[in-house]
Amino acid sequence: MDGSFVADPHAYELFLQLELVEHHTTKVRRPQSNEFVERLHRTLLDEHFRIHGSKKRYETVGEMQKNLDVYLLHYNTKQLHQKRNMN
């Protein structure tokens, strides 16, 4: 791990070990290796940003984040999903 996204890579690795989290990376420019995240990104783009972005002009990132948080709450708690790979 090169630490590009983490202030202290050693603390990050220690945290992962303590929480028993397996850390995996994906290949660059290979969406098939991360298909669930890619699908979420597509859903967010299609169902949220294109709809709300056409109705409202966001003045700040915080304003956009608030709107996204409301959508994600709905998406994660109210919207029906296929039960694929849900353990």
- Tell me the C-alpha distance between 57 and 5, whole Å: 30
Q: According to the model, what pLDDT value does residue 3 have?
A: 47
pTM higher than the cut 0.95: no
Look at residue 23 in the predicted model and tell me its pLDDT.
86
Task: Please name the amino acid found at residue 50.
Answer: R
C-alpha–C-alpha distance, residues 33 and 28, integer Å: 9
Model confidence pLDDT, tens digit, residues 1-56: 454 566 788 898 899 999 999 988 888 888 788 888 888 889 999 988 898 888 88
